[in-house]
Amino acid sequence: MNPVTPTPLVDVAWLAKNLDDPRVRVVDVRWYLAGKRGPDEYLRGHLPGAAYVDLDLDLAAPQGRGPGRHPLPSAADFARVLARIGVTRSSIIVAYDDAGGAIAARMWWLLRWFGHPGGRVLDGGLPAWTAAGYPLTAASPALTMAPQLELKPRGIGLIDKVAVDRLRIDPRAKVLDARARERFEGRSEPVDARPGHIPGAVAAPFVENLVAPGGVFLGAQALIDRYRSLGALQAEQIVCYCGSGVTACHDVLALAIAGRDDTLLYEGSWSDWAADSALPAAVGP
């Protein structure tokens, strides 16, 4: 079996076929803003062999060490996470959640950012796995710790609020907001300092990258059509943001499938922007 895949997505049939390949490492990254806890859901049942990786503890630095609610982890900290779950340079790391890849895309983005080519997202996640009749387990996997990798950020692909403030008024750029439309429009703001969005940004909810909420991604042509209609594919530069730099990675992933591999992520996202009263905010569609 050959675990190499040509796209960032793998389907459940591919994973079931390759699940026993030692080069394939499955990672459960389920996380919830409120109501449930990812570790609890993992213990109730997860894909066979899957390790659990926590968004707050493993895929982000503690608040205050960077902009926003989920600042990026350091290269050394992320390397320790990968070593703990047995990732080597040749591993294919398949991340899944139960939210259409909303959290799994953050794992994919971090692997790409730190120079590991093996990041993948399970298309449709846990719901697609169980719908296809594949089993879950509550058994803890037997993980062998791997040597810690030397990771280094790519140096491109990340942007801060100063640069976003400049690009939002640049006609050659397009700023996309991956949050739900009610948050973009300022009708709801459950967690951040102010409602609304970055003036000049366009609503691009990550859920609209999917065939249905929590489901599989649209096909490549449908994603091309979507982002062309938003004016993104025509832009010289694309910036994606969300609440805290997590679900924005879903838009970055979708754009990569659509052929744009140069999208910038605003790390701090709205949690960073809204906390700075000197920066403007807009409401409405």
Q: What is the pLDDT of residues 89-127, one digit of tens each?
A: 999 999 999 999 999 999 999 999 999 999 999 999 999
Same domain, 99 and 55: yes
- Domain CATH for 26: 3.40.250.10
Domain end: 131, 166, 186, which one? 131
3-class secondary structure, 176: strand
146 inside domain? no
149 inside domain? no
Query: What tokens does 206 get?
Result: 């990550």
Residue 11 region by backbone torsions, left for phi larger than 0, else alpha for psi between -120 and 50, else beta: beta
Q: Which domain holds residue 28?
A: 9-131
- Using CA atoms, how far residue 90 sits from 4, 75, 107, 256, 278, in Å, is 10, 18, 16, 22, 46
Task: Write phi, then psi, for 52 (nearest 5 degrees).
Answer: -100, 135
Domain end: 94, 113, 131, which one? 131
Same domain, 36 and 124: yes
Name the domain count of the chain: 2
Same domain, 95 and 56: yes
281 inside domain? no
How confident is the model over 212-239, as a mean pLDDT?
Answer: 97
Same domain, 97 and 17: yes
The catalytic residues are 242
Provide the pLDDT confidence category of residue 48 given band limits of 50, 70 and 90: very high
Query: What tokens does 243 get?
Result: 């609440």
**Residue 121's beta-bridge partner residues?**
9, 95
Spatial distance between the Cα atoms of 59 and 79, rounded to a whole number of angstroms: 11
Spatial distance between the Cα atoms of 12 and 122, rounded to a whole number of angstroms: 7
Give residue 1's pLDDT. 38
Q: pTM for this one? A: 0.96
284 inside domain? no
Query: What tokens does 60 get?
Result: 């982000």
